[in-house]
Amino acid sequence: MAKHSIVLIPGDGIGPEVTRAARRVLEAAGLSVEWVELPAGATAIEQGFDNVLPERTLAAIRAHKVALKGPVTTPIGKGFTSVNVQLRKKLNLYAAVRPVRNLPGVKTRFDGIDMVIVRENTEGLYSGIENEVVPGVVTSLKVASEVACTRIARYAFRYATKRGRKKITVFHKANIMKMSDGLFLNSARRIHEDEYPNIEYEETIIDAGCMKLVQKPENIDVLLMENLYGDVVSDLAAGLVGGLGVVPGSNIGDDAAVFEAVHGSAPDIAGKGVANPLALIMSGVMMLNHIHEEEIAKRIRTAYDRVLTEGKTLTRDLGGTVGTDAFADAVIAALT
């Protein structure tokens, strides 16, 4: 088997704990890999770098094309631009893909949830263009470009086609933001009509969409959104299937891909060894599929499904008592 070179970014808070666990599981399942471990976030500053996203880390992802990343802490209100925003913009990782599904053994209010959130990752209100117009009045600019709107719409339809998904729903607020959300909507509509008329397509104003999402989440198949809506709705959807500990994610561009859980650095539980590593392990499974190691991916998925179904070795967020390492050990023991 070819040896893969993969950039590993432990990150901050619970990041090092969950990346260590995910790395152990991937290796135990048979991944032949050379990890190129590099810092980002507060850790990078502690190590003497002058940016939360050091040029070395960025260059390594450009060179190796794939990274597995733990969460990083983003200071609120001042200081550095978020690592995640920088990564997505500098590497043009324009599509965030987040599968949200019920897991065996994880009891939730809803059954039958199996949706994929596709979030535009590079613009919207995350453009970081803010201005003080006059003292006491500030603006944040929401940017939408036809190129980015078309690119993400095409990505979502192509993804749906490849994965045998039937329907794309766009959440929007084009009734109010007629130009920016209007462009997003028109781009999706055009890709549907011109290129993928076989995929069912619907548009829902986001406020009503959120209500529908918690009334009948099983009706959602692929959910396409601009940046901020995608961010907020991802956490909402995570809550429907057991929380942030069980939702993986990927940030995909044409030249590189970064795989990471939806959750953040969880400072409230950092260093306690209790974080659930499953979301990052699942992100690792997405990464394995991306690098065409489907067999290893399947082995890991079967193993964690078995551990969850058994229900004896769950982390606290899923109602259990074990810690990060013990959960990873249980997944490794369940590998066949």
Residue 150, both tokens: 């078309």
Contact 97, 118 (CB under 8 A): yes
> 126 catalytic, yes or no?
yes
Among 116, 244, 281, 303, binds ligand NAD (CB under 6 A): 244
> 159 catalytic, yes or no?
no
Beta strands in the chain (DSSP E): 4-9, 33-37, 66-69, 95-101, 114-120, 130-134, 137-140, 167-172, 200-205, 222-225, 250-252, 257-259
**Residue of this chain nearest to ligand NAD (CB atom):** 264
Which is nearer to ligand NAD, 169 or 265 (by Cβ)?
A: 265
CA dist 309 to 104, 313, 331, Å? 5, 10, 12
Which is nearer to ligand NAD, 263 or 299 (by Cβ)?
A: 263
Rounded Cα distance, 333 and 147, in Å? 47
> 173 catalytic, yes or no?
yes
How many degrees, rounded to 5, is the angle at CA 126 between CA 120 and CA 131? 150
For residue 138, the tally of other CB atoms under 10 A from its CB is: 10
State in angstroms the smallest separation of the CB of 201 from ligand NAD. 29
Q: Does 96 bind ligand NAD (CB under 6 A)?
A: no
> 201 catalytic, yes or no?
no
Q: Does 43 bind ligand NAD (CB under 6 A)?
A: no
Q: Determine which one of 181, 231, 317, 329 is catalytic.
A: 231
Among 19, 84, 187, 250, binds ligand NAD (CB under 6 A): 84
Residues 255-314 that bind ligand NAD (CB under 6 A): 260, 263-269, 275-276, 279
Contact 319, 291 (CB under 8 A): no
Q: Does 73 bind ligand NAD (CB under 6 A)?
A: yes
Which is nearer to ligand NAD, 18 or 188 (by Cβ)?
A: 18
Q: Determine which one of 126, 155, 159, 201 is catalytic.
A: 126
Rounded Cα distance, 315 and 323, in Å? 6
Q: Which residues contact 190 (CB under 8 A, 6 or more apart)?
A: 150, 153
Q: Which of 68-76, 140-148, 169-177, 206-214 is the region at the interface with ligand NAD (rule: CB under 6 A)? A: 68-76
Residues noted as catalytic: 126, 173, 207, 231
Q: Binding residues for ligand NAD, per CB under 6 A?
A: 14, 18, 71-74, 84, 244-245, 260, 263-269, 275-276, 279, 317
